[in-house]
Structure 1
Amino acid sequence: MNWYLQVLQKYAVFSGRARRKEYWFFVLFNILVGLVLLLLDNLTGTYNAELGLGLLGGIYSLAVIIPSLAVAVRRLHDTGRTGWWILIALIPIIGAIVLLIFLVLEGEQGENKYGSNPKA
């Protein structure tokens, strides 16, 4: 939970570096919250099957889109890549696979041009 709150505290901070742990715990928590909100949307009747989204899930998605982008950019910085690499996900299938590999890789040891090692 602390990793999730830490990302939200850096709501729109696109500079610096983020550890794998910080990024992946944020992603895991978002998935869990999304599943709970999907259940609540189904129970309350606010789920729209055509859109594949419910009212609560949609509001939550809008609330965390900027922190999600920011932590992904910081994660790319940790691997020594510019945040613009996030746009590779726009290439169908292959782009998402390449971005996933970048996000899974271990960060650079020591300081890089984006800041000091967050593990230190």
Structure 2
Amino acid sequence: MFKTIINHYLHSLKNTLNYKRRATRTELCWFSLISGLIFMLLLQVARITNIHLVYFILRLFSFIIIFPSVSLIVRRLHDLGKSGW
């Protein structure tokens, strides 16, 4: 099961620039859940260690994850028959 979760997450990242494909509900849910968990983990590590590098990594992760998130939401809307734009 863990492999399936990771595969959904990696599939979402690989299709960031592909707006013609569609995204399933499962793909969207797992991507959101894993991204949220990574964010919370980085946030807790940053708070505990108070190291500026961890805060930088947290900000970088947040910035980078915006693009796959938007792409995934647009592809999910296409899957529902709605315009993502």
TM over 0.5: yes
Query: Is it true that 1:28 corresponds to 2:72 in the alignment?
Result: no
Counterpart position of 1:61: 62
Q: TM-score, normalised by structure 2?
A: 0.83
Query: Is it true that 1:17 corresponds to 2:8 in the alignment?
Result: no
Identity of aligned residues (%): 35
| Alignment gaps of 5+ in structure 1 | 48-53, 85-120
Matched ranges for 1:58-97 at <5 A = 58-84=59-85
Q: TM-score, normalised by structure 1?
A: 0.60
Higher normalized helix content (fraction of residues): 2
List structure 1 runs of 4+ shifted beyond 2 angstroms: none
Q: Which moved more, 1:10-19 or 1:63-72?
A: 10-19
The size of the alignment, in residue pairs, is: 78
Q: Which has the larger radius of gyration?
A: 1
